[in-house]
Amino acid sequence: MPVIETRGLTKVYRTYRKEGGLRGSIKGLVRRKYQETRAADDVTFQIEEGELVGFLGPNGAGKTTVLKMLSGLLNPTSGEARVLGFVPWERSNEMKRQFSLVMGQKNALWWDLPAQESLELNRAIYGIDRGRFAKVVNGLSELLDVGDKMNVMVRELSLGERMKMELISALIHEPRVLFLDEPTIGLDVISQKRVREFLRLYNSKHQIVTMLTSHYMQDIEELCDRVIIIDHGKIFFDGPLDSIIDRFSGSKIISLTFQTPGEREFSQLGEVLEKTPLSVKLKVPRAKVTETCRQVLAECAVNDISVQELPVEEVIRQLFGERDNASSTAASPPLL
């Protein structure tokens, strides 16, 4: 049985559109015009025990809306969802004790209390035994290397230290489901790496279901084997991370180094990404990779050659750009 299951999950927001000026204000009192926005549109997927799934999409795609519905913070307009067998928006205490939501841009800890006291407050809320609480907190603080910061006021912690405390706070009741919304946003590269290592280790050890949204592709590449991509409220990809390149990338990168400097013009063969007197990096359509390599080897004294896939980050960026352009074109009236 899936731990998380959604079927046709939809959330529609109505926003009031006011006309300008006094006349518009008066008209708004009598007859208001609303615009509907589908933040989530027929979202359907399943997640099994122990999966760590990346949830990707551009800003405004609907990622946070879906996580909030799965957490019970929002009621859907239509559709169904089950988390651990519970309907999230019914907000049953049994479900609340088995999941956590961490939002990188919102604080769950008390700003004016030391981290230890904030955690103690959560212990009382969840009714956790003191011995068990101490064991869990000590283990998590050791893994995240923040044991010496427990008695520091939350407002005095660095951003990275505060996020580590937020993770400890989310895990003290040992949930079975963890929703992470941009957990590494704003962190330096060292803190990002530490958080990623912790999440990988914790997921492997406890087999906790984790949904992770992030704009840092390194988070996704290092942690997630499976990704769900959402845009304009609709899911258009759900599968292994590696297959994104096979499905959506139409190009490869050819890197060449030469024995002697030359003035060869490569722009006719593909897009020149980098060029020095002794090397060049080309972006070439997949179908022309073999032909391009053969032509370069025949015309130049090549010292080394390699063919690589485009980085996943680049493929997804291009994909979102193409979809945005397609949406804009479809929305625009035809030119007369």
Give per-residue pLDDT as tens, 105-138.
Answer: 777 788 888 989 989 988 998 889 999 999 999 9
Per-residue pLDDT at 332: 44
Per-residue pLDDT at 29: 73
250-309 CATH:
3.30.70
Decide if pLDDT at 209 tops 90.
yes
Whether 266 and 280 have beta carbons less than 8 Å apart is answered as yes
Query: What is the SS3 assignment for 215?
Result: coil
How much of the chain exceeds pLDDT 70, in percent? 95
Decide if pLDDT at 329 tops 70.
no
Segment 73-88 shows an average pLDDT of 94
4-245 CATH:
3.40.50.300
Per-residue pLDDT at 106: 77
Is 96 buried (19+), middle (13-18) or exposed (0-12) by CB count in 10 A?
Answer: middle
11-25, 169-183, 194-208, 263-277: least confident range? 11-25
Residue ranges of the chain that CATH labels 3.30.70: 250-309
Per-residue exposure over 272-287, b if at least 16 CB sit within 10 Å of its own CB, e if not: eeeeeeeebbbebeee
| Strand partners of residue 5 | 46, 82
Decide if pLDDT at 163 tops 80.
yes
How much of the chain exceeds pLDDT 90, in percent? 31
Per-residue pLDDT at 3: 93
Decide if pLDDT at 323 tops 70.
no
Per-residue pLDDT at 328: 52
Q: How far apart are CA 114 and CA 56, in angstroms?
A: 34
Residue 105's CB is within 10 A of a number of other CB atoms, namely 9
Per-residue pLDDT at 185: 80
pLDDT of 1-13, one tens digit each?
799 999 999 999 8
Residue ranges of the chain that CATH labels 3.40.50.300: 4-245
Band (335; pLDDT cuts 50, 70, 90): very low
Q: Which of 235, 213, 209, 239 is nearest to 225 (CA)?
A: 239
pTM for the whole thing? Answer: 0.77
pLDDT of 148-161, one tens digit each?
889 989 889 888 88
Whether 274 and 281 have beta carbons less than 8 Å apart is answered as yes
Per-residue pLDDT at 336: 32
Band (327; pLDDT cuts 50, 70, 90): low
Task: State the chain's mean pLDDT as an integer.
Answer: 85
pLDDT of 11-68, one tens digit each?
998 877 777 777 777 777 777 777 888 889 999 999 999 999 999 888 888 899 999 9
Decide if pLDDT at 207 tops 70.
yes
Backbone φ, ψ for residue 300 (5° rounding)? -130, 155
Decide if pLDDT at 269 tops 80.
yes
Segment 294-306 shows an average pLDDT of 88
